[in-house]
A and B are shown apart, each in its own frame.
Chain A
Amino acid sequence: MTTIRPTAAPGAGEQPLTDRPESPRQRFVRRFRRERPAVVAFVVVVLVALAALLAPLLATHDPDTQVLADRLQAPNGEHWFGTDDLGRDVYSRLLYAGRISLLAAVQATAIGIALGVPLGLAAGYLRGWVDVVLSRIADAVMSIPALLLALAIVGILEPDLTSAMIAIGVVYAPQFFRLTRASTLAVREETFIEAARSVGGTSRAIITGHVLPNALSPLVVQISLAMGFAILFEASISFLGLGVQPPDSSWGSMLGRSTRFFEQSPHLVLIPGLAILVTVLAFNVIGDGVRDSLGREIRRPTQ
């Protein structure tokens, strides 16, 4: 007979030897710490967020001050990352642009969640015509190429950052909707839901008290991935000049305005490009790590 023990395989993190069973959070932290790349990525994201948050302290120049005579300088002692086409300090602008890029990603993801999750819960739990109607709408939205849909929405609204983020939020909503609906469908057939219903629990109480907590894990993974793609989406829209409006800039708009000077001043393209690359990559790696650390543990039989 094979005994299955909850102990992890040799070499993995140690199971704490206490009497109390491990809480889900402790278990997540223990497992996440095993995901080395994800830990590194997490540190990167924290650093990027800190840099953005502390931009006023870290910046060496006012990000909007132009010295036209000092335009297109290569990186030097005075301007660590050089100057842009209007003679502004690229290092300082990069910090402030990071604020906008990250804030934009948070906004977009929040809008996606706010739209997608409640509707997904409703569709999955209530089934019937609610599910049919909402699912078809989600299918319709997903069938439109994401960037085109976002551009169309920005075109209808004012071209600024908030519109761009609403647009990206709308693009995201069906993804959150589908994910939530799928988890809800799986959970609603469980016996504990039946039990809750049989003691007179309202739909609302059951959804918030029992269904949502059980559908959360995949959502957390999706949020991390969505953050990364939101930065990329925002960059694309601002690259096209439809997102953030001057004098503010995001990494995408810094990149967009600089492609003209690629031959003369490649650093203007490379620096915001790298910022986008590193941050998006970090969010994706975190997403992978979170996915592997949540949900059912892959347990291995003892020898």
Chain B
Amino acid sequence: MAWITPVKGDEMRIRMLSVVMAAALVTAACGGSDGDSGTGGGSGSSAGPADEDATLRFSFGTPAGSNYDPATTTNQFVNVYLYPVYDRLVDVTPEGELQPMLAESWEFTDDDRTLRLTLREGVVFHDGTPFDAEAVKANIDRAKSLPNSSLKADLAAVSEVVVVDERTVDLRLGAPAGSLPALLADRAGMMVSPAAFGNPDLDLQPVGTGPYRVTEHQPGVVIRYERSADYWAPDVQTLGGLEIQMQLDPEVRLRSVSGGQADATQLNPDQVEAAEGPGVTVDSAPSLGSFTLFLNKSGPALSDQRVREAISLAIDRQGISDALQAGRCTPSAQLFPEDYWAHNPDIEAPEYDPDRARELLAEAGQSDLSLNAVVINVPFYTAQLEAIQAQLAEVGVDLTVTSLEPTELLSRFVGGEADMYFSNWPGATDPAKTVATLLSAQGTLNPGGYTNPEIDRLALEGLSATTQEDRAPAYQELSEVMVEDATQIVVCNATNTFVHTEQVSGLESTLTGLFDFRGVTVSA
């Protein structure tokens, strides 16, 4: 089987050649482009006017299992599939600024013990149920009470939901909730039709108020959407339909765009060179993502701050970024990237210092240390951990690497079987959520149950203010503590890279590195 690969490569090369030739022919013949063939579009020909009936075919890397109910799904990446169907109460720009969506405005009142939402008028769910204050109450009550709800932590501060009138709803707060508006831009703010709560297939057939509705769902393969009728913001409902294909293999995703089976996809930065070609555009955007070594800080070695700091100093961040991420990853020690409101500009990326790392390990009595790490079974990720493995070997740390399927991987790290887990932390709509996930005693990515009173204090402080300006100092200080205590080892702040055909315009990635398809057009 394996010996076929060179032949496969030849086929690919021939196909690429024919694509180039076809492109040249098309350009020579008419200078136009053929919407169906995707890559057939001649280089140099600009996209025509948007086709309102066109379907965007997007290939996405993470299938999100079989649960698409925003209140119970546990998958971070499922939002890509949910955004088209579910509007949120609040929207967040790629820069992290909050914007009105189903809530036209919100304000903290009653000495910050109530968050009052004023709702948009005239919005109707796909099944005809009107969207009003009762619907908001029903959704939040459901998310707080469902036994398998994954939103309980996000909504923990909400003690009661009170309907004031049809367009006004009060969230009574039992705890500081500065992060709540941003969390309402995530799954906690996705509004499901209350009439569909009882649908046995709600987890596969979402019913929301969004610009598109699901027509076909093959779990793990593809979801197809059509334009929904009478959408409240017709100017962003720019597609006739949407098709999200699920494909874990980044090489296959790229080939599906160059081969015309998809119009756009997300790439890994190391694919940019291979992606650039006639008829396609490679785009990148800053993201909240950070390539990070998550640590189980309860082990005998990793409970020692000196060992954690030594590992951080032993990593050649710039080398990894240059060689394995095409230089598109900014070396850093903090989770919050530059230009994000929670970023701390005073923290510098650690210098690569293997000598100091050896000293620290010797001080900690760990000159001959063995650790194990898990990583997703995708070469782009395994190669980076292999580079780290070699760099740690330089300072006397013997790292065993195991590459695994996504689900197996998490259960091993969360279950305490692995010392480290290397991945891209995608970020969250609010820094409070990142802190809770990584550093609270019950945080899912804090398997050792590490706690630090300083961090707990600052986390509470970050929630007690209600504006980004007032909250920022707490998170900046938090970053400082995280870096000092090396609570996790950030390698670099990621860039989100994606590719699309020339017919596609308006595609941009969200704050958390995902895609919302509002305003995206496909030209004829």
Using a CB–CB cutoff of 8 Å, the interface residues on chain A facing chain B are: 64-66, 68-69, 71, 85-87, 147, 155, 158-160, 232, 235-236, 239-242, 245-247, 251-252, 255-257, 259-260, 262-264, 266, 269-270, 273, 276-277, 280
The residue from A65, A68, A71, A155 contacting B316, defined by CB atoms under 8 A apart: A68
Given A68-B316, A71-B323, A159-B404, the answer on whether A260 and B271 have CB atoms closer than 8 Å is yes
- Which B residues touch A160, using CB under 8 A? 402
Contact B5 A246 (CB under 8 A): no
Known: A147-B1, A255-B5, A273-B2. 19 other contacts (CB 8 A): A64-B393, A68-B323, A68-B324, A71-B323, A87-B323, A232-B2, A235-B1, A235-B2, A236-B2, A245-B402, A246-B386, A246-B401, A256-B379, A259-B251, A260-B270, A269-B9, A273-B3, A273-B5, A276-B3
- Which A residues touch B13, using CB under 8 A? 263
Whole-angstrom distance from the CB of B404 to the nearest CB of chain A?
6
Q: Judge if B382 is at the interface, Cβ distance under 8 Å.
A: yes
Q: Judge if B322 is at the interface, Cβ distance under 8 Å.
A: yes
Contact A260 B387 (CB under 8 A): no
Contact A68 B320 (CB under 8 A): yes
Contact A86 B1 (CB under 8 A): no
Smallest CB-CB separation from B321: which chain A residue? A68
Q: How far is the CA of A259 from the CA of B320 in the complex (A)?
A: 20
Whole-angstrom distance from the CB of B201 to the nearest CB of chain A?
29
Contact A270 B6 (CB under 8 A): yes
- Which B residues touch A276, using CB under 8 A? 2-3
Whole-angstrom distance from the CB of A279 to the nearest CB of chain B?
10
Q: Judge if B12 is at the interface, Cβ distance under 8 Å.
A: yes
User: Contact mask B377-411 → A, CB, 8 Å, 1/0?
Assistant: 10110110111011001000000111111001000
Q: Judge if B273 is at the interface, Cβ distance under 8 Å.
A: yes
Q: How far is the CA of A257 from the CA of B382 in the complex (A)?
A: 9
Contact B387 A159 (CB under 8 A): no
Contact A246 B322 (CB under 8 A): no
Q: How far is the CA of A160 from the CA of B274 in the complex (A)?
A: 31
Whole-angstrom distance from the CB of B193 to the nearest CB of chain A?
39
Within 8 A of A (CB), among B29-60: none
Smallest CB-CB separation from A252: which chain B residue? B2
Contact B319 A68 (CB under 8 A): yes
- Which A residues touch B377, using CB under 8 A? 240-242
Whole-angstrom distance from the CB of B309 to the nearest CB of chain A?
23
Smallest CB-CB separation from A241: which chain B residue? B377
Q: How far is the CA of A155 from the CA of B408 in the complex (A)?
A: 9
Given A69-B323, A159-B402, A242-B377, the answer on whether A269 and B6 have CB atoms closer than 8 Å is yes
Contact B387 A66 (CB under 8 A): yes
The residue from B316, B319, B393, B401 contacting A245, defined by CB atoms under 8 A apart: B401
Q: How many A-B residue pairs have CB under 8 A?
A: 99
Q: How far is the CA of A203 from the CA of B385 in the complex (A)?
A: 56
Q: How far is the CA of A65 from the CA of B383 in the complex (A)?
A: 14
Contact B387 A280 (CB under 8 A): no
- Which B residues touch A256, using CB under 8 A? 379
- Which A residues touch B386, using CB under 8 A? 66, 86, 246-247
Whole-angstrom distance from the CB of B259 to the nearest CB of chain A?
14
Q: How far is the CA of A66 from the CA of B392 in the complex (A)?
A: 12
The residue from A69, A235, A247, A266 contacting B389, defined by CB atoms under 8 A apart: A247
Which 8 A-B pairs have CB atoms at the shortest separation, nearest pair first?
A68-B323, A235-B2, A241-B377, A277-B3, A66-B390, A246-B386, A68-B319, A262-B9
Given A68-B316, A68-B320, A87-B323, the answer on whether A246 and B2 have CB atoms closer than 8 Å is no
User: Contact mask B1-33 → A, CB, 8 Å, 1/0?
Assistant: 111011001001100000000000000000000
- Which A residues touch B9, using CB under 8 A? 259, 262, 266, 269
- Which B residues touch A262, using CB under 8 A? 9, 12
Q: How far is the CA of A260 from the CA of B405 in the complex (A)?
A: 19
Contact A257 B383 (CB under 8 A): yes
Contact A246 B379 (CB under 8 A): no
Contact A236 B1 (CB under 8 A): yes
Q: How far is the CA of A266 from the CA of B319 in the complex (A)?
A: 24
Contact A260 B251 (CB under 8 A): yes
The residue from A64, A69, A246 contacting B382, defined by CB atoms under 8 A apart: A246
List 29 contacting pairs A-B, 8 Å CB cutoff, sorted by A.
A66-B390, A68-B319, A68-B322, A68-B387, A69-B319, A86-B323, A86-B324, A86-B383, A86-B386, A87-B323, A159-B402, A232-B3, A241-B377, A242-B377, A245-B401, A246-B385, A246-B403, A247-B401, A252-B2, A257-B379, A259-B9, A259-B251, A260-B251, A260-B271, A260-B274, A263-B13, A263-B274, A266-B9, A269-B5
Smallest CB-CB separation from B3: which chain A residue? A277
Q: How far is the CA of A133 from the CA of B319 in the complex (A)?
A: 59
Whole-angstrom distance from the CB of B8 to the nearest CB of chain A?
8
Q: How far is the CA of A71 from the CA of B273 in the complex (A)?
A: 15
The residue from B5, B383, B400 contacting A85, defined by CB atoms under 8 A apart: B383
**Residue among B273, B322, B324, B387 with most chain A CB within 10 A:** B387
Whole-angstrom distance from the CB of B39 to the nearest CB of chain A?
16
- Which A residues touch B379, using CB under 8 A? 241, 256-257, 260
- Which A residues touch B316, using CB under 8 A? 68
Whole-angstrom distance from the CB of A259 to the nearest CB of chain B?
7
- Which B residues touch A273, using CB under 8 A? 2-3, 5-6
- Which A residues touch B403, using CB under 8 A? 159, 241, 245-246
**Residue among A69, A87, A158, A241 with most chain B CB within 10 A:** A241
- Which A residues touch B390, using CB under 8 A? 64-66, 86, 247
Smallest CB-CB separation from B274: which chain A residue? A263
Whole-angstrom distance from the CB of A162 to the nearest CB of chain B?
13
Whole-angstrom distance from the CB of A266 to the nearest CB of chain B?
7
Q: How far is the CA of A232 from the CA of B1 in the complex (A)?
A: 7
Q: How far is the CA of A239 from the CA of B9 in the complex (A)?
A: 15
Contact B6 A280 (CB under 8 A): no
Given A245-B401, A264-B273, the answer on whether A255 and B2 have CB atoms closer than 8 Å is yes
